Amino acid sequence: MLTATSPIKCVATWYDMHGARTASGTRMHRDSLTAAYNSAAFGTRLQVTNCKTQAVCTVTVTDRMGIKSANRIDLSKAAFGRIATHQQGRLEVLINIIK
């Protein structure tokens, strides 16, 4: 479980469901810096760091993932593009809650 004092290392992927409603009720936009994540409340801001390159992006949780995706985060296309190339598809990241 993600807490303000304990960052989590996990696998990040990206998704692009442009225009679809998210679990929070907002519309997904591929250019927004948002994420689907199961272990933080909607509206929580997370700092996501690429473990290999140390590239950082700040996202807002607006969506949830399937139960089988526990301990993973799906980033919007724009957010993933800030820390890696889309061709990578998956990468190891460190997630921290921003206070």
Query: Residue 37 in contact with residue 57, Cβ under 8 Å?
Result: no
pLDDT in tens, 38-67: 888 999 999 999 999 999 999 999 998 877
Higher pLDDT pick, 43 / 17: 43
Q: How many CA atoms lie within 13 A of 56 on its CB side?
A: 8
Task: In whole angstroms, give the CA distance from residue 70 to residue 58.
Answer: 20
Beta carbons within 10 angstroms of residue 36's beta carbon? 24
List the structure tokens of 18: 């442009």
User: What is the percent of the chain where pLDDT is above 90?
Assistant: 57
pLDDT for the residue 91: 92
pLDDT given at position 86: 84
Asked if residues 86 and 77 have their Cβ atoms less than 8 Å apart, the reply is: yes
Closest CA to 35 of 4, 51, 53, 98: 98
